[in-house]
Structure 1
Amino acid sequence: MTKTEFEATVEFDDGSTADLEMAADKSWDSFLNYFGDAQHVYCVTYSQSPAFIYKMFQNQDLAVDSLEVIVGDNQHDDYRRSLKNTNNAKKIAAQLESLRQDGDLFIHTVDSARVLLHTKLYIVENQDGSRTLICGSANLSKQAWQGSKQTNVNIAWRTDGDTPVDEWFERLYTFHKDYATPFMEDLTEEIEDAETAEEEAKIYDIWLGGDEFSDDPVAELNARLDEAVDDDQVNTYNVVTDAEEAEKAVFAAEDTDTDPTEISPDKRVRLSPQGLEDAISNLDDTLSANNIRINDGEIVATPAGIARYKETFTGYPDLNVDRDEKNVGLRVDDSVLELTASLPDDPQEVADALDLIEQYIETVGEFGETRTPKETRAHFYEGIIYFCWAPFANYCAHHYAEYESAELDKDLPFLFLHGDNDSGKGMFLRFGARLISNGYVQEVTTGDDFVKNNIERARASDTVFPYIVDDVAKSKIDRDIIKSYWEGKWDGSIQMPTFIFSSNDSTKPKSELRTRMKTLDFNVNFSELKKDEREAAAQIAGQADNCNLFPWFAHLFLQRDISLPDQADRLADARDVFAELYAYADKEVPEYVPLEKPAEQEHDPGRRKWISALSDGLCELDFKDDGRVIADFSANLDQQQCWQFQKATPAHIRASIYGPAVQFESANRFKNWINEPNIIEDARRDTETAADNTGVLSRVTRLVRG
């Protein structure tokens, strides 16, 4: 029973009266006495899970016609997660949804991680029209009472429903409701559109977390830390329109005299650690090093601490693409650099940015020596297109996943740059990183620092800044985890970066990995540059820090309708955006810029290698009746040398090595790839002539011997 410590009758100025009680309640049953005649209840309370509220209805602990609850300590997704982790989650979700649609139960959750409604307030409308109005410390949770020996002091007003205190409680309730959003409203909208029971069941699966929550606790922690930072806790600067402020934010981040991760009231980020305990335990040292702490059952941090902590996962900053707002944001401590901008009024600004890219590309041939300047420049430019596309790989995954035929590991290729020492690969990677980060990222990961664990950390990083690795051994790429990087982990809940590799290994990755990569060849040598040439090249590369090409690219890319690409050109959308930029700038397109098709197809070094071999008679072509063709190098090369020709073929050609011979499964694919009918025909004729001569010689030999 409720033990009443104090009671009185209060008369208000309008002549109405209400009974006031103050009591110390020590049990769930005593607290329920307030609700004995209740018909409708409105309350603000803490609640660990919607399953507990449902159980109160099911067990009739609270025998009311309707209940509206404002949950003060959970955001929508936090509360949904707690339901997901409950036994029979789908069944409970369906029953909660049914109660909601019948108007019997309405739940609201706080709309921001910064909001914590500690109030415990109840408006109880009784069967006879009277009211019980409660304000105190008790939560509407039987589990909370049973979990510990609680004592809660509550003040209750008993009114006829039309007194000044009724009005005051209603205003208080409305005030709290303004900080909350309806729970399950999104589910209701989708359920209404379901036409079959199977569709409805799938909607529940997705809503409960099939496409929303990661099964990796570390990835989940990283995503929730990101979500916990409110817009008003960071300073947002557009790198084009607020260039000076953006530059100052970068300089401030490099200032070692101050610690931006220090927690202060105006920069405090708070969120619940529920469901994240294992991740927090495993990452305790890293979290603590960035002033991310557990205080009084809450994770407490700062925007800067979160940004620096997340950077430890890949070594690259926290870059995010907001699919709803259509913008790209780079977190730098407690600032966000907005890397999206509308095209300028003056097209010459775009022309100048494209000029810079061309100046850099044309160092190939001007400073670096190459026998194939046009082809190599095209490969360099293709790499620039990829760099601009790279932050949108995760964005594209969301669009591609809508298609049943999508194969994300093939549709979202990594980039592999192949070239000898001094071919400019390292400088190119740094140029690309600077270009898409407004100069914030100056260095890239080295191959020695790249290990298998880095791939898993990238999957959990919740950032879209590409993971760039310079001079990596091919053996580190030939791994199954790369073969299934996207489809093995991506579920839409966590942002994952794509990878950009460079290597000077003599051979390229094996064929099943080449279908998951764009391979570009840097057939150039910069080893003998003069001092003034080195300085000129460095000056050109340095201008990437202030080039606005990527923000304009990002703006145009985010306006496009993204659909599943043809396997022949997986960067078609990015290529089209570059065509838009050239058109807007009214600028002549250099002949090496690959706007029509991928550079590795238009200028395929492997194709060139095979054409030379066929023209020089290095191999004989044997066309089989079953559609195969065999290129026999046995007269001129050994098996090891023959491997180089097999590796030079695109994966879709399906070439296999057999001793000193390469077998193609489809003669037609081989001929279409070479695309030189005369060379193919000459090679075939030479092979047949050689065979005829061999046949004549053998017959003469038999006659002589006979």
Structure 2
Amino acid sequence: MDWDTTINLGGFGNSAQMEWQTVKSWKSFTNFFDDAVHIDAVTYCESPELLLELFDQEGSTLETMDVLIGDKDEYQSAVDDATVARRLERYYEEDKLTVRLKNRKVVHSKLYRIVAADETVTLIAGSANLSYNSWKNQTNSIVVFNTEVGTQLDQQFKQWIEHHREEYADTIFMEDLAAELEDLDDEEEVERRIELWIDNRNTQLSEQGEIHSNVGQELEALGDEVDHVVSVTDDPDEADEVVSIDPEQIEPEDGSNDNGEQSETDSAEGITAAKTPEYSITLSTQGYENDGYLDQMETDLKRRGADVGADAITTPVEGYTNYLQTRYDVPKMWIDEENQRVHLQHGEHHRILTADHEPDPDLLDAALDNIENYIKTIDRWGETNNPKAVKAHLYEGVLYGLWAPFVNLYAKQFYGSVTLDNALQYLYIFGESDAGKDKFTEFVLRLVSDDLVRGGADADDVGKNQIRSLRNIDTVFPYVVSDISKQKIERIDTLRNFWQDSWHPSNEIAYPTLIFTSNDSRPNDWFRNRAKMLHFDVAFPSNPEDEGFYKAQEDLNTILDARNPIFSYVSRRILRDERYLDAGGTVDDVRQVFLEFYERADREVPKFFPKEPANRRYNIGKRKWKQAYERGDVTFDRRENRLIAEFDLEPHELYSYRKTLPTKMRPEKSGRSIIIKNPDGFEEWIELAELGGSNEQAGSEGFLSRLWG
């Protein structure tokens, strides 16, 4: 039957020929594309290779094509040939083929706009798919309109297709691979990236990074399950949500033992705890090189109970996290930005370290008291000439530790505008061997892990390879190195560009920030520019024969053993308020949260609380210059635009003074003098109140002005 007719579609202006057609074969449908120079489509299509065939048909005049694929979640998996992948990428680069992938739901619409060389246009709506499979046992009905480019009907139909693109597609197929290949000149590397892409592996990451990133995705899924276990009620009608959880898989810790008594593993208030003894992780072994990182990892995981199959490794989550802790001295921690949660997986223990409610003032008061009590051990047991400065430095270190897990959120905001390695500082704590540095790191690690983690890495095990690995294991938990020498730090040149050379927002792999403790005071300039330097200028009883040794140990251990949920409320504020979006600060954001906590708890802010960075307010370098000035070891002479600091010391003693100066002073040592090429910057830095010790002097004329009248 002839169904075609010429009609005037109400309000569309130009007349158009309309046909109802029943199409029964692939050939009868693709005949519509024979004279096309351009195609817009919303359709099903099982393979991108089929789209290439439309360009390849004998006599094809097709120049460009823009298709929204409405049914495929993993379109990349349909490409298994490097030649096809390379051609698809080239067509994308040349704007010949644009393939749009659905974003959140199946798009069942079938729309085609087919433009011919003579500016005629065929518009098709119906049930016909652009897929071989749909023509084997199906018959399709379509409505076909024939009109001209630019008519009102054509414009309206084009807008209809564009609406689908805007609402249901936000990813362009091949865009990721094209970006990867754009700057590559090495043909072998191009082929390698294409093969990785075909295997659906992350071409940006190393094998090590890809494996740990994949594990991270599985653990995030586990975290989502644990996040449902937040409260229990006997009456389902009273519950906000009813969930079914296998207690063998995810067992909430209720804080009691079989006798109903409180257990020692009870988590602090504000923290959700669960055990995951039966949960497993599956690692695909397909596409990885022999004798690579995965093979090395496999050997270790087998000893921890992993089942190694032909195509995959299945390992208990406890086996994987114990491997991570043993091999890299750091647990698995991640941030769920969508749900605003910090998660920690340590062995079989899972923690959601973000509170779901604001803290009670009394609870905050106790948490702040615990921190202050720890810092006041300096008054009770420490020997120091600068108690207020040392306590401020300890408090600054606590603030840094509580900020550390959020470093990647700040990296995203800083990326492209500042040098990441200068903005995302390491923490470097120096002091004598009895300055309490190890106890400090234990205190901080226990705060950010709900008491699960108490130590970090030994400096003897740290080198370039270990630091590089931190960029591949996908954790935000701070990496702590104890008792490292400045000479060793200076040899690990990976620290020069830990972030800048490799971190990218699109990599989907997190880096930890680094905390070092050392007995040495001043590494080289390049490291000092990348570190927050804190000085623990105090000595605690460290020998059983020292007076007060046992009482000091008992006092300190009591403080450390107290469960403190402060991090759960800090993380709630940082994530809920999205304070990192300002990109105007780092540790200062936690500093402001603490000041808000003091106000909420109606607790007096201690005088040693660092309302500004303690390393700036109580700078060891300033104090060193002050003491030299007061002893008469240094005099100053202004010569043109330079300040000459002349020392009555041996030349080798001047190196420590030069190192204390910020690099912007552009200091140079010459004999018994240090030449400061930025005298105004020096005057601003030294702050006469520090040097002369008088508030009156600080408010009068500048230090350098008074030196030479």
Normalised to the residue count of structure 1, the TM-score between the two structures is 0.68
TM superposition shift of 1:491: 1.2
What SS class does the counterpart of residue 86 from structure 2 fall into?
Answer: coil
- What's the CA shift for 1:475? 1.3
Partner of 1:186: 170
Q: 312, 316, 324: which is aligned to 2:338?
A: 324
The equivalent of 1:380 in structure 2 is 394
**2:443 corresponding residue in structure 1:** 431
The offset of 1:644, in angstroms, is 1.8
Report if aligned partners of 2:282, 2:312 keep a CA contact under 8 Å in 1. no
Equivalent pair of 2:667/2:676 in contact (CA under 8 Å): yes
Give the CA deviation at 1:332: 3.1
User: In the superposition, relative to structure 1, how do residues 441 and 140 fare at CA in structure 2: closer, same or farther (>3 Å)?
Assistant: farther
* Structure-1 residue corresponding to 2:565: 548
Q: Tell whether the 8 Å contact from 2:408 to 2:476 is kept in structure 1 after alignment.
A: yes
Rounded to whole Å, the distance in 2 between the matches of 1:81 and 1:322 is 33
Q: Distance in 2 between matches of 1:203 and 1:268?
A: 29
Give the aligned partner of residue 533 of structure 1. Answer: 552
Q: Tell me which amino acid in the other structure corresponds to 2:213.
A: A
Query: Kindly tell me: are residues 140 and 357 of structure 1, through their superposed partners in 2, closer, same or farther at Cα, counting changes over 3 Å?
Result: farther
Q: Name which of structure 1's ranges 341-350 and 664-673 shifts more when overlaid on structure 2.
A: 341-350
> How many pairs does the alignment contain?
566
Q: Is the 8 A contact 2:374 2:556 kept in 1?
A: yes
Could you tell me which residue of structure 1 aligns to residue 656 of structure 2? 644
Shift of 1:86: 4.2
Q: 1:237 to 1:354 in 2, by over 3 A?
A: farther
How far did residue 631 of structure 1 move?
Answer: 1.1
* 1:157-180 CA-partner distances (Å, limit 9, x unpaired): 466889xxxxxxxxxxxxxxxxxx
**C-alpha contact (below 8 Å) 1:34/1:132 kept by paired residues:** no
Change (3 A) 1:452 1:204: closer
Gaps of 5+ in 2: 1-23, 31-40, 113-123, 143-165, 184-193, 233-250, 257-262, 267-274
Q: How does 1:132-531 map to 2 (within 5 A)?
A: 157=137, 185-187=169-171, 214-229=204-219, 231=221, 235-236=225-226, 245=253, 267=280, 269=282, 273-274=286-287, 278-281=292-295, 283-290=297-304, 295-298=309-312, 300-333=314-347, 336-344=350-358, 346-401=360-415, 403-404=416-417, 406-478=418-490, 479-492=492-505, 493=507, 494-505=509-520, 507-527=521-541, 528=546, 529-531=548-550
- Distance in 2 between residues matched to 1:551 and 1:94, nearest whole Å: 47
| Aligned twin of 1:609 | 624
The question of whether the paired residues in 1 share the 8 Å contact of 2:284 and 2:312 is answered with yes
Report whether the alignment pairs 1:557 with 2:574: yes
Q: Which amino acid aligns with 1:548?
A: P
CA contact (8 A) 2:378 2:391 kept: yes
In the TM superposition, what is the alpha-carbon distance from 1:283 to its structure 2 partner?
3.6
Task: Kindly provide the amino acid, as one letter, of the partner of residue 501 in structure 1.
Answer: F
Paired residues of 2:321 and 2:347 also in contact (CA < 8 A)? yes
> What is the distance in 2 between the residues matched to 1:590 and 1:239?
38
User: Does residue 580 of structure 1 match 2:596?
Assistant: yes
- What SS class does the counterpart of residue 460 from structure 1 fall into? coil
Please give the per-residue CA displacement for 1:612-635, whole angstroms capped at 9, x wherever unaligned.
11122101212110x2112111xx
Q: Letter of the aligned partner of 1:581 in structure 2?
A: F
* Residues 370 and 524, structure 1, Cα contact 8 Å, conserved in 2: yes
Q: CA separation of 1:203/1:98 partners in 2, compared to 1, >3 Å: closer, same or farther?
A: farther
- Which residue identity lines up with residue 570 of structure 2 in the other structure? F
**Maintained 8 Å contact 1:234/1:336:** no
Cα distance change of structure 1 residues 652 and 426 upon mapping to structure 2, 3 Å threshold: farther
Q: Report the residue type matching 2:604 in the other structure.
A: E
The structural deviation recorded for 1:354 is 0.6
Report the more deviating stretch, 365-374 or 85-94.
85-94
Aligned match of 1:149: none
Aligned match of 1:146: none
Length-normalised TM-score, structure 2 = 0.68
1:542–1:261 Cα change, 3 Å: closer
Contact 2:68 2:99 in 1 (8 A): no
Q: Distance in 1 between matches of 2:209 and 2:167?
A: 24
Specify whether residues 260 and 203 from structure 1 end up closer, same or farther in structure 2 by C-alpha distance, changes over 3 A only: closer
Q: AA paired with 2:595?
A: A
Q: 1:217: how far off?
A: 2.3
CA distance in 1, matches of 2:102, 2:702: 78
State how far apart, in whole Å, the 1-side matches of 2:252 and 2:205 are: 41
523 and 268 in structure 1: CA distance in 2 versus 1, 3 angstrom threshold: closer
How far apart are 1:637 and its partner, in Å?
1.3
Tell me the amino acid that sits aligned with residue 454 of structure 2.
Q
Q: Which runs of 5+ in 1 are unaligned?
A: 1-32, 112-122, 134-138, 142-153, 163-181, 192-200, 253-258, 690-706
Aligned to 1:592: 608
* CA deviation profile, 1:542-585 (whole Å, cap 9, x unmatched): 21xx211001001111123425656xx65222211212221222
Instruction: Assess, with a 3 A threshold, how the Cα gap between structure 1 residues 269 and 285 changes in structure 2: closer, same or farther.
Output: closer
Percentage of pairs with the same residue: 25
Q: In the alignment, is the contact (CA less than 8 A) between 2:645 and 2:674 conserved in 1? A: yes
- Structure 1 distance, partners of 2:376, 2:51, is 68
8 Å Cα contact 2:580-2:586 kept in structure 1: no
1:502-533 Cα distance to aligned partner (Å, 9 max, x none): 0002x311112101000000011112333222
Distance 1:338 1:159, change over 3 A: same
Task: Note the 1:112-123 alignment, pairs <5 A.
Answer: none
Deviation of residue 268 (structure 1)?
A: 5.8
| Distance verdict in 2 for CA 1:285–1:599, change over 3 Å | same
* In 1, Cα distance between equivalents of 2:382 and 2:463: 32
Residues 550 and 190 of structure 1: CA distance in aligned 2, closer, same or farther (over 3 Å)? farther
Between 678-687 and 511-520, report the one with greater CA deviation: 678-687
For residue 655 of structure 1, what is the aligned residue in structure 2? 667
Q: Would you say the 8 A contact 2:429–2:534 is kept in 1?
A: yes
Q: Which residue of 2 aligns with 1:176?
A: none
For residue 502 of structure 1, give the secondary structure of its aligned residue in structure 2: strand
Q: Decide whether the 8 Å contact of 1:107 with 1:183 is kept in 2.
A: no
Moved more, 327-336 or 235-244: 235-244
**Is 2:367–2:565's contact at 8 Å kept on the other side of the alignment?**
yes
Task: Note the aligned Cα RMSD (angstroms).
Answer: 4.9
When structure 1 is superposed on structure 2, of 528-537 and 391-400 the one drifting more is: 528-537
Q: Would the aligned equivalents of 1:238 and 1:340 in 2 still touch at CA under 8 Å?
A: no
For residues 589 and 96 of structure 1, the distance between their equivalents in structure 2, rounded to whole angstroms, comes to 62
Determine the C-alpha separation between the residues in 2 that align with 1:593 and 1:433: 20
**Inter-partner Cα distance in structure 2 for 1:617 and 1:400:** 44
Please give the alpha-carbon distance, in whole angstroms, between the structure 2 residues aligned to 1:585 and 1:345: 9
SS of equivalent residue, structure 2 residue 580: coil
Aligned partner (choices 667, 676, 682) of residue 664 of structure 1: 676
Hey, what's the Cα distance between the residues in 2 that align with 1:80 and 1:462? 28
Q: In terms of mean alpha carbon deviation, does 321-330 or 282-291 score higher?
A: 282-291
How many angstroms apart in 2 are the aligned matches of 1:409 and 1:380? Answer: 23
Q: What SS does structure 2 have at the residue aligned with 1:637?
A: coil
What is the SS of the residue equivalent to 2:674?
A: strand
Task: Show the counterpart of 1:145.
Answer: none
Question: Aligned-pair distance for 1:92?
Answer: 4.2
Counterparts of 1:421 and 1:452, CA distance in 2: 25
Once the two structures are superposed, residues 190-225 of structure 1 have per-residue CA deviations (whole angstroms, 9 ceiling, x without a partner) of 99xxxxxxxxx989979x99xx86332211221122
